[in-house]
Amino acid sequence: MAIAEAGSLLALKRRARKINRVLAEKYPYAHAELDFRNPFELVVATVLSAQTTDVLVNQVTKILFARYPDARAMAEADPLELETILQPTGFFRAKARNVLALSTRLVDEFDGVVPGRLEDLVTLPGVGRKTANVVLGNAFGVPGITVDTHFGRLARRFGWTASDDPVKIEFDVADLFEPRDWTMLSHRVVFHGRRVCHSRKPACGACPVASLCPSYGEGETDPVKAAKLLKYELAPGNEALLEQLLAETHRAAEIRMESQRRPG
């Protein structure tokens, strides 16, 4: 590697790690936004989260897992009943088929237990590399980078990758960070994408990593106007929720669920 190239990689790494540190301070309460109590629930919830919101998936899985608590029960589910439960998440016929096939394969090949290896996970129907990494990182504690649409967009804006391909993005970003940081980095970047660095209107003027971001200026730079673009607990008027999340980071998932249930 040429000296100049090595120097710029080092500079990129330093800046990337600084961004991660700032995001860690900003979102100490970042976590997987899908609710789950075990690897089976997480793998199913992740499959259901395609083309819909985590909030909606969390509402549906509450009913789903009360009815079918594990792979064996789910493998024997009535397909029509399953479709009815999954309907709010969209593409419900395909999702019902995948969830049934996934549960059947778990029962037939893995004794009803979700395997903890990437090469086994990707053999499950409906489970690609992204879902496998979510499950490994969050249910098994194996470091993983989860490249969803938010992560891909922000990785490009940060200059961590030039690619649109999720696997290439994953490898490009993996080169910049220690494996121990991969899982939390994924949560933080996705949190930032949902709240601040939106796809069409990034709130650059209210962004904590503005001074480190090569794409600063792609969105609104006026601080007052940018603040109005912020979402969820950062949105104007949600100061009490933000304070609660910061004060009780260990209960963040619960607090988020409670706040979603509150009217208004």
Binding residues: 197, 204, 207, 213
Binding residues for [4Fe-4S] cluster: 197, 204, 207, 213
Closest residue by Cα to residue 151 from 130, 180, 177? 130
Residue with smaller CB distance to ligand SF4, 157 or 188: 157
Residue with smaller CB distance to ligand SF4, 212 or 253: 212
Closest residue by Cα to residue 213 from 15, 27, 14? 15
**Catalytic site residue 148?**
yes
Least separation in angstroms between residue 214's CB and ligand SF4 is: 8
Kindly list the distances between the CA atom of residue 178 and the CA atoms of 12, 123, 185, 227, in Å, as whole numbers in the listed order: 14, 27, 10, 32
Catalytic position from the list 54, 130, 172, 181 = 130
| 177-204 exposure pattern, b = at least 16 Cβ within 10 A, e = fewer | beeebbbbbbbbbbbbbbbbbbeeebbb
Least separation in angstroms between residue 204's CB and ligand SF4 is: 3
Distance from the first to the final alpha carbon of the chain: 56
68 vs 48: CA distance, rounded Å: 15
Residue with smaller CB distance to ligand SF4, 135 or 196: 196
**Catalytic site residue 70?**
no
Footprint on this chain of ligand SF4 (rule: CB under 6 A):
157, 196-197, 202-204, 207, 209-210, 213, 215-216, 218-219
Least separation in angstroms between residue 54's CB and ligand SF4 is: 21
Residues annotated catalytic, as ranges: 130, 148
